[in-house]
Amino acid sequence: MGRHDPRSRTQQNKWKDEFTQGKVSRHIKAAHAGLGEVYSELYDRTIDYGAHPNERGTSVAMTMAETEDGGLRFDTVYLHADGLLLDFLLKTTAQVGICVLRIAQLIYPLRSQATGVQFQLETIAKRF
């Protein structure tokens, strides 16, 4: 809880070094190879489509049109209407949520079994 305490830079650096994407991914893959692959694919997809500024994340939300004087105009869409892109983003969001819950099952197996979440999650995951 003291990660951002300015008096504890050493502790902050320790947590930054420990909780890197690579280390987290390796731990998940070691616990469950298939889930680790899903995690890595979803991580890469969210990065590619906007979690960090990059060409794909920018261009997927951009249109290009010629202007009357022969130039080009680039427009950026901030809120997408119904369509393929929104469907893709909503499906990815659902898949990330399912992945997080499956990771939680690995961390808290007894609690998952006691609540019956694992059986409900298996049914939901089949649709995605």
The long-range contacts involving 35-42, CB below 8 angstroms and separated by at least 24 positions, are 35/99, 35/102, 35/103, 35/106, 38/95, 38/99, 38/102, 39/99, 39/103, 42/92, 42/95, 42/96, 42/99
Q: Looking at residue 25, what is its pLDDT?
A: 94
Chain segment 54-67, per-residue pLDDT in tens:
677 777 778 889 99
pTM for this prediction = 0.63
Q: What is the mean pLDDT of each run of 10 residues along the chain (128 residues)?
A: 68 80 93 95 88 73 89 82 85 92 90 80 79
